Structure 1
Amino acid sequence: MKITYFGHACFLVEFGGKKLLFDPFITANPLAKGIDWQQIKADYILITHGHQDHVLDVEAIAKNTDATLISNFEIITWFSEKGLKKSHSMNHGGKFSFDFGSVKYVNAVHSSALPDGSNGGNPGGFVIWGKDGCFYAAGDTALTEDMKLIPLTCPKPDVAILPIGDNFTMGYEDAAIAADFVQCNKVMGIHYNTFPPITIDTAKAQAHFAAQGKELLLPAIGETISV
């Protein structure tokens, strides 16, 4: 699979012959000023929770690409009222087979409210698997023992995409423990360095992972990596 990082918690995974875009927040992120959102092609947009720094560009990109939205019931309903009817709602513990592979919506420990104050439902993450392998996109979350259920109920991930910025989510130390819980030694870090409260020492974070025999991938904004 190929993963392109667009900054903050936004990335695109080429998987199962489709392009899966996660949590688009580009136009208000000064670190992503080199990204032209109109050039992003997406077949699906997956949304972990309702905060503005995860949904800001959903509507524009969905209308530009005719992408199908995947998220929880409350977020799908909110975007449906904006005219985005091409969607699929899920809830925690449920899985569904799409044309690119299987998706399971799993727990995240965070909060969720949409930009206008509407109920964003409960936050979550996604485990996705198919012919191209398996990956875990955790969304914004604290470290939780629920992660131990993932390798018991899904294939073991080839890569775990985890928040590492601390303050609003787990930091990189807890993310390394999360990697143990999901039995995955290859991690891609997200949700760091965008705002002052989540600025981290990236070299120290990578050294922490390396000391435990794990790899922490930190692609540059706009960079594509193969996993």
Structure 2
Amino acid sequence: MKLNNGIRLTWLGHSTFKIEADRQTLLIDPWVTNNPVCPDALKTFDTLDVILITHGHADHISDAVPLAKEHTPTVVSIVEIAGWLGKQGVENTIGMNKGGTVTVGDVKATMVSANHSSSFTEENGTTGYVIEFGNGYKIYHAGDTNVFGDMRIIGEIYQPDLALLPIGDHFTMGPREAAYAAQLLNVPAILPIHYGTFPLLTGTPEELRKLTASQNVEVISLEVGETLD
């Protein structure tokens, strides 16, 4: 596994992450206020420079407007969500679409496909991101998705060092599909997300480890509030 060289990745529960790197603080899928597993001490932020949104469901976006108004970060999302945020008074939005790359400070964010529904688009308005930091380290946040064959393309083109993959089942892929996703991505390390928040989300890191035992991949599981650095 490639060292992340000072990039601090803190899991706030579900699919929400705070990342501190390159003198910037990023937040992925801002859901903290009503997130039942997010520690109270981590529900507020000293500063936010970038917010990335994968899709429009409440458990991924519900704190986007208040946090954006408080901290005035650059907010990156699919174009329809960016338009909705603008109508709510959010400034500094970047609306983009799949395949596009934007640079914010020293961080590059590439929007990639995900298979899931979204509250703001009739079609497939859910995305993932490949985030590249100034030191070359790359994190793939898959968003809410099932496994799909083009994950192989994401792996071949972007070669992420760490993949954040949902394993909860019911609303996303479970451990069985996530294990196959790891094969398609050919990624050296995966960090399971979107599990344990509600009783319906039954997938576990232990099951994922069993299913990936024959693969050359490290499964890194964090406790909610824990930081990988």
Residue 4 of structure 1: aligned partner: 10
Residue 182 of structure 2: aligned partner: 179
CA distance in 1: counterparts of 2:8 and 2:62, whole angstroms: 24
SS across alignment from 1:153: helix
Contact 1:4 1:223 in 2 (8 A): yes
Question: What percent identity do the matched residue pairs reach?
Answer: 36
1:14 and 2:17 are equivalent in the alignment: no
CA distance in 1: counterparts of 2:76 and 2:156, whole angstroms: 23
CA distance in 1: counterparts of 2:107 and 2:18, whole angstroms: 15
CA distance in 2: counterparts of 1:186 and 1:169, whole angstroms: 20
Map 1:58-207 onto structure 2 (within 5 A). Answer: 58-114=64-120, 122-132=125-135, 133-154=137-158, 156-207=159-210
CA distance in 1: counterparts of 2:108 and 2:51, whole angstroms: 15
| Runs of 4+ off more than 6 Å | none
**What letter matches 2:127 in structure 1?**
G
Q: CA deviation at 1:120?
A: 8.5
Structure 1 residues 33, 131: closer, same or farther in 2, change over 3 A? closer
Q: State the aligned residue count.
A: 222
* TM-score computed with the length of structure 2 as normaliser: 0.89
Q: CA deviation at 1:98?
A: 2.5
Q: CA deviation at 1:53?
A: 0.4
Contact 1:93 1:104 in 2 (8 A): yes
Q: CA deviation at 1:100?
A: 1.9
Q: CA deviation at 1:119?
A: 5.6
SS across alignment from 1:166: coil
CA distance in 2: counterparts of 1:105 and 1:52, whole angstroms: 20
1:34 and 2:37 are equivalent in the alignment: no
1:23 and 2:47 are equivalent in the alignment: no
* TM-score computed with the length of structure 1 as normaliser: 0.90
Structure 2: tracts of 5 or more residues without a match:
1-6
SS across alignment from 1:38: coil
Deviation sequence 1:107-157 (CA, Å, 0-9, x none): 10000004xxx7686111111113331111110011011111113332x11
Q: CA deviation at 1:25?
A: 1.3
**What letter matches 1:135 in structure 2?**
I
